[in-house]
Structure formats: structure tokens, C-alpha cells
Structure 1
């Protein structure tokens, strides 16, 4: 197993996927055919999205246009998996079509693919519109906030929501307080 200093030296102290230089940590790339689990150096944003594929931000992953050409097999495998997951985006499909992995690395990439989007529970608003992290929503009903005297009024805009593990809940900031909101009581803006 590679230690953190070796990863920093190999990567030039930057995320091996998006080139960010802050909040770097080792990330294990599972399903390797070898004895040990290979590691890559990733930023917090990349790690969070890999650990929670429901929240993949396709704009962030345009960085794969550069990192997919890495000489490091574990980085190539992660790029393949992410591009496969994002293949609904034209730019991602174009990159995926260009990416070549040798037979062993392709088998490794396929063995640990990210769950397909249709297999994951999705957050949907009161109209059935899919919600994504960072969306702006409007509350459609007055809501009493448990544990406080706050009432989130109908028509209140909630900007930059966060998704939770439960597809019926989102998190957002209302009147300076971070609260959990049921998705059936919000509608997506725009």
C-alpha cells in the first residue's frame, strides 16, 4: 500500500482527478485483481461524489478530459467508471469513446462500476421533478420546524440544497438555520 507522502510525490500534491490542491487524502480504488487495493490522491469534492454517486456533479467531472490520460492505472479506472456513469452527457460519452484501457484494467474498471443512476433512489420534488445537490427549491406549504419556533413559510426560496441518504429528505438553509425538509413539500425552481 502506498503512503500519503508517496501519493503526494506521485501526483505533485494535487488531486489526481481534478487537480485541486486542498483537502487531499488517499482514496482506495476497490475491486482490484491484485493483492493490495491501489490508492489515488483525491480532494474532498471528488471523494464525496465517488462515495455518493447520486450527487455526481457533471460540471465538476469535465476535469476527466485531462486526468483520463494519466499513466496511473487506478486513475484511469476511476475515470472510466465516472465517464461510464455520466455517459448520458454528450461530452462524457465522447471522452468515454476515446478512453482505452488494456484488458486487465478494463476488467478491473468493470468489476467495480458505480451503481447505475436508475438503481439509486432519487430525490424528487412534489411534481416528480428530480432534485440534485445545489438546486434551488421553493417550499409549497407552511412547515413547522421540529425543535424550534421557526415556521418555514410557503413560498420561501431555499438555495443550494443538499441531498441526504433518504430520498424523501433534503437539507437547506431557511432563515439562517439548516433544516431537513421533506421533498414532497418543495418544488424545484427553473
Structure 2
């Protein structure tokens, strides 16, 4: 029996993460030996977001509340990694995995942790070049002005060292802004 057929039978013909039945395919959970036990059956949406973490949509992955409890180790490992990437430590802390499964899940996090995901006050992912709107008057220390609520900051940059800040120009001055005071424009 082919791996895809085996995964289709195991999943009941739906995505093992979100339950969708659209565009299903096999995704190996690295490091993998290519077997069905180390692969999952996922929809196109889940696969695209797993392969491109900067496009990850947290609302789509609300389904992880269910899939994190899967008895299939590969599904639990992928749920663990996605919850970590989304910063959902509250759900990660609730998960129980055998030691070997947890070490497998941790083994795939080293490269994923390098991609810092920056979110605005509403949880929307921010990328370099985006525009944001300030949602609260902010005193800018050392510059002698207040960044007013409603000001649009265009063409932001994402600093590599800080996960909850962006860099942009307000009143011609380049400043760091905390993401909790911003929303994507």
C-alpha cells in the first residue's frame, strides 16, 4: 500500500490538522525516514503555511486545539511545532508527549525558531515593508514629540533581535515602536 493511501485511511480522507478535505497531500515531518508513521496528511492551506512560516495565519490554526491531542505521533509533533511558532506556550504546556516524541518535536524547532514572527496588537503578522497605524499617543523619548494616535507608519522594518518591536519613521525620525500599540494598515 502506498504511503498516501495509508495516510488517507488513517485520517479518514481529511487533513489531520484542520479537518479540511481540499487538496490533500503527504507532508513528511522532519527529520523523517519517509514512512507513513513520520508523515501527515494535510490540506493545501496547512501545507503552504507550514512551508512558509511568515504567511502563518493563527486563526486558521485554531484547529490545533483538537489536533494537539492526536494519538498519532507525527500529528502531535507538527501541532507542537506550530503552536511553538505561533507563540502559544499556554497550549504547548498542556500537551503530553512521550520522551522520544517530544525530542522529535524539539529536533525540528532549531530552524523554525530563527524565523521571528512579529504580530500587531490584533495578532496579525507584520512583515518588512508593511504599513501600520499607531493606536495610542506615544511619547518619543529623546526626540521631543508625541507620535499621535492614527499616524500611519509606512515601509516598516523588522529588527532581528527584538520580537515585539518594529522600526519606522514618524515625523521624519526613525524610531522603534512596540507592536502592542500598532495595528496593520
TM over 0.5: yes
Gaps spanning 5+ residues in structure 2: where? 119-125, 131-153, 159-182
Residue matched to 1:29: 29
The whole-number CA distance in structure 2 between the counterparts of 1:119 and 1:79 is 17
Residue matched to 2:84: 84
Superposed, which structure 2 residues align to 1:10-159 within 5 Å? 10-32=10-32, 35-37=33-35, 38-87=38-87, 92-113=88-109, 115-116=112-113, 117-118=115-116, 122-125=127-130, 126-128=154-156
Calculate the TM-score normalised by the size of structure 2: 0.61
Q: CA deviation at 1:36?
A: 4.1
The whole-number CA distance in structure 2 between the counterparts of 1:17 and 1:56 is 14
Matched-pair contact (CA < 8 Å) for 1:14–1:20: yes
Q: CA deviation at 1:127?
A: 4.1
**Count of aligned residue pairs for this structure pair:** 127
The whole-number CA distance in structure 1 between the counterparts of 2:117 and 2:21 is 33
Deviations 1:61-99 (A, max 9, x none): 110000011111000000000011111xxxx33211101
Matched-pair contact (CA < 8 Å) for 2:14–2:21: yes
Where 1:118 maps in the other structure, the secondary structure is: coil
Matched-pair contact (CA < 8 Å) for 1:67–1:75: yes
Cα distance change of structure 1 residues 98 and 79 upon mapping to structure 2, 3 Å threshold:
same
The whole-number CA distance in structure 1 between the counterparts of 2:65 and 2:77 is 14
Please report the RMSD computed on the Cα atoms of aligned residues, expressed in angstroms. Answer: 2.6
Calculate the TM-score normalised by the size of structure 1: 0.60
Q: CA deviation at 1:118?
A: 2.4
Cα distance change of structure 1 residues 189 and 66 upon mapping to structure 2, 3 Å threshold:
closer
The whole-number CA distance in structure 1 between the counterparts of 2:80 and 2:69 is 11
